[in-house]
Chain A
Amino acid sequence: MQNQPDWCNKGLAPVTAVITPTGRHEEGKDRSFITVDNRERTAVRIRFIITQSKREPSGMLFGALRNPRLKMLKPIPLTISRDESGSVAVCWEAIQEFGYGANLHTALQDFSATIAELHFFLESEAQRLGEDLGRVSAILREHIAPRR
């Protein structure tokens, strides 16, 4: 027949079957075999290969503000980088604020504490801010706010 995959010409045909827990299951050294119960009793080999990427993310959305006096309005986009010493820096480019630590977890903890402190500082000095810090304060207010 025309337009048929090549394996159709070899006496093989696809089947549709439901693999149920009652199907015969055998464990091998590094693979499992499940016999799919169909009329032809075709043995199906299923192998799961799990690989862990060693590539670190280059960015993330931050939403884990830990200060009980503040709440997140929307997540903060962070870039992630690692310096020569292996320490991790997370950076909010829009206001050039950062968290820094031995690993991503401690860098994020540092960042969380930093933006909370920055928020309270900028609010307390609102009347005396230069133009750039006024811009920083406005951006920060889009993302965090006091809990009422």
Chain B
Amino acid sequence: MTVLPPPRAPTPPTRSLAPGPVARVQGLALLAVVLLVWQLRGDPASPFFPAPSAWWSALLELHAAGRVVPALATTLGAFLAGLVTGTVVGAVVGALLGRVRGVDRAAGPTLEFLRALPPAAIVPLATLLLGFGAAMKVTVVGLAATWAVLLQARAAAGSLDATLEDVGRTLRLSRWRWLAAVLAPSLAPAVLRGLRLSTSTALVVTLVAEYLTGARGIGGLAAEAQRTFQPARVYAMLVLAAATSVLANALVTAAQARVATGRTRD
């Protein structure tokens, strides 16, 4: 008698639709067709839908003017700095909340509120408090990145295997030693999961901050292109940002894979 399998956990939406290297290349077919049709039927001078060739020339133009590389550097810099800061803070605070019930309950409603707040809403306040520079961007991105990591670390720290605590006691590890050698590695997969979840939000917030403050990054260039009615540039920035996003996700996934070796739990 076959027993029906238990309900599966729903597929996390971060998973790609196209596993397998050959399928990955074949999967570009749809995109290629869309771009081709757009190219053939589009008017390069259209104010709304410039052809893909126009995007490419706009990008080359910007690069010739020496603006692409600095923009990428600015955006990536703020994004990575904020992401790393947010991850560290989220991991530490999350671990603390997971281990100390009292603090967890005390922080509950505040965290619930901050978690539900769209991070972009903080940008104007951050601008007033911290100005328009890199410090503001890193802070805002850091805040945005903290939540997912915090929640994951909190869940993992709260459900720590009891044997791990016993290990510390048996080996008579000092508090710090235990934190560094036992707690941190066991939280690493959860922290990386949170990091993966927050990567796209962090990039969006970086771009929002740049767009609003007219900074030099990709967001700033896109804002300028929109203001000066240069749609080809806007699309070029779009493609650039998408490429950055893909790169960031690939890096985080690789990091996840390295840390997860040997573990059977996700």
Asked if A and B bind, the verdict is no
User: Interface residues, chain B, CB within 8 Å of chain A?
Assistant: none
